[in-house]
Structure 1
């Protein structure tokens, strides 16, 4: 007598990262570009044994401040997005007219997705919202907001070190400047490579484009006297 096949076990829910690859790469590049602009002002740093130290801590202080500001804005942006989604859900739930509620959902779709979703699928979403007994009264902060904000802050601050650390470790400012710019371009290439692979836009191509962006910024800084 044949035995029944075992029931398939449900797979554990995959945990989504708080910061996706785009978030991580853009924040890292933001920190690199901020540090690069300060390193470009190396000629403005007075001569002396502590010139490299001043430059390093100036760049670090800048990225600490901008990292904090960016982290706060990350939390604000998440809360605003969550509030917008809650407002949409509440409006659909309250609307007794099915056609009107479906149209509200359709209006909220991104333009690229709107042609791919038909009214029957939107009606299923409307029905689920209508069946909900309650919705949260307001958008609230969640743990992931603060974890993500910490990640944003650290990415911006960490980007300071490969750009500005050579000035702290190497006495020859010309050599330190060359090493700093080479490290910056290498990091930009790696960041672009990761972004291109994640988005399907071509890892090598995106890496070179990001590197060219860094070169263009470096040339602009030099032309401006940096």
Structure 2
């Protein structure tokens, strides 16, 4: 009996989905790779490894913070827009006008599958609702998601920059750094492919190819 009850408990929704996590990890990898390539072209002394790590880490700390803050800005802006729509629909005396307002917010890909009767049903539920807050507010998961974005971007620095601390020979460290980066990009593409229903291997190889192209561009620019 207990087993049956526990199986019916809904799973907690993740604050960041697979696309968010993969996108932020790739962003952090690309940013770190760009700075590592730039510094490697200008550094050749014994402090090169630490300079690589500090430069890449400083870059991703700054961009991780900026991206986390912008995530919160996007989140509250989207939520405020939805809240304003709900308030407008609830206060609209003309049912047809309320349906038109909802129709304008329907995604173009779904528009053909949602009838005015469906929208009218939604309008009635919104109009009858007495649980709408006075204004849109942040939720706890918003800050957890922003923190997750910051951590992912910062952690993505180390596979790219750590080889420069471990290996004193800069060309060797640079080669290992790029191999690790490409391997992680493959893993990101593999995960994204499974989430999107694509071929995991093709998605992984495509993401890896993108990493190779970026690496070639960095080398061509002096990285």
- Give yes or no for contact 2:161–2:177 (8 Å, CA) kept in 1: yes
The number of residues matched between the two structures is: 219
Q: SS where residue 12 of structure 2 aligns?
A: coil
Q: Quick one: distance in 1 between partners of 2:68 and 2:169?
A: 35
- Give yes or no for contact 1:45–1:54 (8 Å, CA) kept in 2: no
Match of 1:17 in 2: 14
Once the two structures are TM-superposed, the CA of residue 134 in structure 1 deviates from its matched residue by: 5.0
**TM-score between the two structures when normalised by the length of structure 1:** 0.93
- Give a deviation string over 1:134-192, Cα, whole Å, max 9, x none: 52121111101110000000010011000010001111111101100000000000000
Q: Quick one: distance in 2 between partners of 1:157 and 1:45?
A: 23
Once the two structures are TM-superposed, the CA of residue 106 in structure 1 deviates from its matched residue by: 1.1
- Give yes or no for contact 1:45–1:55 (8 Å, CA) kept in 2: no
- Give a deviation string over 1:39-70, Cα, whole Å, max 9, x none: 11243343322111111111000000000000
Unaligned runs of 5+ in 2: none
Match of 1:136 in 2: 133
Q: Quick one: distance in 2 between partners of 1:225 and 1:198?
A: 36
Larger radius of gyration: 1
Task: Find 1:212's aligned residue among 200, 203, 209.
Answer: 209
Unaligned runs of 5+ in 1: 1-7
Q: CA RMSD in A?
A: 1.5
Q: How does 1:1-226 map to 2 (within 5 A)?
A: 11-133=8-130, 135-226=132-223
- Give yes or no for contact 1:189–1:210 (8 Å, CA) kept in 2: yes
Q: Which stretch shows the higher mean deviation, 11-20 or 212-221?
A: 11-20
Q: SS where residue 41 of structure 1 aligns?
A: helix
- Give yes or no for contact 2:160–2:181 (8 Å, CA) kept in 1: yes
Q: Which stretch shows the higher mean deviation, 67-76 or 34-43?
A: 34-43
Q: Quick one: distance in 2 between partners of 1:46 and 1:219?
A: 19
Q: Quick one: distance in 1 between partners of 2:141 and 2:39?
A: 39
Q: Quick one: distance in 2 between partners of 1:12 and 1:114?
A: 33
**TM-score between the two structures when normalised by the length of structure 2:** 0.94
